[in-house]
Amino acid sequence: MKRNRNSSLLVLLLFLVVVFITFSIICAEARKNHTKKSKSHKHHEEKSANGNNAPAPAPAPLPPYGSYPTRSTIFNVLSFGAKGDGVCDDSNALLAAWNAACKVPYATVGIPSKFKFLIKPITLQGPCMPHLALQIDGTLLAPPKPSSWTKSSLFQWINFKWVHNFTILGTGTVDGQGSGWWSLSPIHYIEVSSTTTPSLKHKLPKKFYASYNVTVRDIRIMNSPQCHLKFDSSGGVKVNNITISSPETSPNTDGIHLQNTQDVEIHHSNIGCGDDCVSIQTGCSNVHVHDINCGPGHGISLGGLGKDKSVACVSNIVVENILMQNTQSGVRIKTWQGGIGSVKNVSFSNIQVSDVKVPIIIDQYYCGKKSCQNQTGAVAISGVKYDQIMGTYSAQPIRLACSNEIPCTHVDLIDIQLKPSPRYGKFQQALCWNSFGKSQAPLLPSSIDYCLRGTDGLPKTTAISQEKILRYFGEPPASGVGAVDFRAVVAVYRGNPSSAFEYASLGVLAVFGFFGQFRCEDRLAQSCDQFHSVFADCSGPG
């Protein structure tokens, strides 16, 4: 009995040994096969990176700074055949990565750091799955030569169309390489037919069209041939913590351009360019621009609106907490003569200016060339508030040149303190025409208090007297052109420009003093309308 029990134990022990040996062999074989598969997969990725096969999306190395969006599948452009040497055309690789990512929720198109990708004009089109992102950690380069741009490209570089819930982010750079275009445009206003050489008028590095819930953050956009970042017919736009930079002398290089776009927030960014830091055009409403460093450039502008008798509608605009340095304008509303529509409910507050040519402007005689034909009608401007505009100017503190046909109404000037820059000279007076509203101290220079007229058509406070004008212009000559000019200026400021031209029977009108430092002499002036033409030409579009 005892012998049988020992035999059973021996059999059990042998069985366990056999099982252990078999299990060890299976595990070793599995590890061997796994290693072979890993090497084979790695080889496939390397082959795909050379563009020999269409790859499946593979995780890309994480960028050195920041991280890709959470839950994201990465579509690295290098895995789709991009070279990243800044010379070879990587447009097809970017488009392939986009098309693949577009089909996957929470996908990211990756532009890795330490690479430069030459991208020719391209449209990245939706609709795509939700929460698509373009992570730019390297550099995207536009073709540097105008001849590289075909007419079919519509002269737009990277055009985003019909994308929703989309984000552009990263630590990289978008470089428009625009110097070759700037040299073709010695002036700021270019009208070139689309049947000729590509026009600067349409040359945009990044444009969003019919896109909603779009965020652009953290990247740098530089050296655009023209406008750097444009949103057209879009909504729910957020732009923050970006840098836009082009030389002060680069023509028409708006920083951010909005058109037919609603519900926009632009904040905590640095913008320096050769035109408007932010340009708000027709069809825009509910726009909030705040905490921006602007300069060089032409300030923050609404318009030009109403060109070619078009309809322009802009409303509910808030611009606040802005620092402007060495800009042509500060905060500006500009409209063309003959336009239709309205600008209403606009607030400019806490604007700090330093060496800004003219910090506050309403110009309803805006003209993109040396002279424009006078037209009746204008875009109506109402409900505009200027609050806490402070700092230094280099030419003139304020210029409100409202339409003779449709005056500006409900304009508020509150706590305006503007001094001449020590580099440019003495105090200049405010220039105001046909503007109605109210002002509230402190106001510097004091002439701002005479800018706005009350509902009765008279200046809000005290009508200006001839004695007060004498303190600025000096004693007029007893006779001659100087006396005629003096009487004309008094008549104009008292709101009777027709009388000014009765006085100015010699056909000579000098506009100066209360009408700014600009001096326009030897101008024929036969009618009130011609006076406003002189007024617009003297002031200039800025």
Q: Give 111: exposed, middle or buried? Use CB within 10 Å, 0-12, 13-18, 19+.
A: buried
309 close to 339: Cβ distance less than 8 angstroms: yes
**164 belongs to the catalytic site:** no
Give the single-character DSSP code of 327. B
506 close to 482: Cβ distance less than 8 angstroms: no
Q: Active-site residue among 218, 254, 275, 276?
A: 275
The total of other beta-carbon atoms located within 10 Å of residue 380's CB is 21
The total of other beta-carbon atoms located within 10 Å of residue 362's CB is 28
Q: Which residues pair with 384 in a beta bridge?
A: 346, 411
**CA-to-CA distance for 293 and 542, rounded, in angstroms?**
20
Residues 6+ apart with CB under 8 A from 33: none
263 close to 292: Cβ distance less than 8 angstroms: no
Give CA 17 to chain center in angstroms: 77
SS (H, E, C) 252-270: CCCCEEEECCEEEEEEEEE
**CA-to-CA distance for 362 and 399, rounded, in angstroms?**
6
Residue with tokens 């059999």, as numbered in its chain: 11
DSSP 88-105: EE-HHHHHHHHHHHTTST
Q: Active-site residue among 164, 228, 257, 298?
A: 298
**363 belongs to the catalytic site:** no
**CA-to-CA distance for 521 and 516, rounded, in angstroms?**
14
81, two tokens: 């055949």
DSSP 441-509: EEEESGGGGGS-B-TTSSBSS----HHHHHHHH-PPPSSSHHHHHHHHHHHHHTT-HHHHHHH-TTS--
Q: Which residues pair with 356 in a beta bridge?
A: 393
Q: Which residues pair with 118 in a beta bridge?
A: 89, 141
Cis peptide before 186 (omega within 30 of 0): no
Spell out where 295-379 has E strands.
Answer: 300-305, 311-325, 329-335, 340-356, 358-363
Q: Give 255: exposed, middle or buried? Use CB within 10 Å, 0-12, 13-18, 19+.
A: buried
Question: Which of left, alpha, beta for 245 (phi over 0: left; psi -120 to 50: alpha)?
Answer: beta
60 close to 74: Cβ distance less than 8 angstroms: yes
**CA-to-CA distance for 453 and 540, rounded, in angstroms?**
24
In a 3-state reduction of DSSP, which class is residue 82? coil
Catalytic residues: 275, 298
